[in-house]
Amino acid sequence: MKNLTEIYKGEGATGDPASEYDIFNRQKKSKKNYPLSNSHSVYWIETDIDKGGLSSIIQYNFESLQSVNLSGTEFNVKSKIHEYGGIPYHIDEMRIFFVNSEDQNIYKIENKRITKITNLQNIKIGEIVSYKNHLYFIV
């Protein structure tokens, strides 16, 4: 089995060869954290330095051999639960749950559609897990 670096070849989510490193300035342009997988894909959080630190959920599908940004530019996938952050998303076979940085609420991606599933205020959420159709997280 190939690792994420071998599969992805360091091209970044945009397909831009310079998205991983700025060759001339030797600065890292993006970073990839929190890899997770299910039976059909591998996922990770990719933070784009050029977009103000925007963090997105990237999916690499084993069948299509393509990567796609699932959270787009509308959401910044970050948890503030431990002040420095925490794991901001969870996947199962059919859905993805993530914390949006701006409001620290949980959103669900299902069938390429993003839905807000919590409406909490003045809290921080992280470390999401699901079990038997229930969602658990740290507040």
pTM: 0.79
- Give me the average pLDDT of each 10-residue run along the chain (139 residues): 46 44 57 93 94 95 95 95 85 95 96 96 92 90
User: What DSSP assignment string belongs to the chain?
Assistant: ---HHHHHTT--TTS-GGGSEETTTTEE-EEEEEEEE-SSEEEEEEEEGGGTTEEEEEEEETTTTEEEESSTTT--B---TTSS----EEE-SS-EEEEBTTT--EEEEETTEEEE-----S---EEEEEETTEEEEE-
- The domain spans of the chain are 30-138
Residue 56: its pLDDT value, please?
A: 97
> What is the reported pLDDT for 12?
46
User: What class, spelled out in words, does domain 30-138 have in CATH?
Assistant: mainly beta
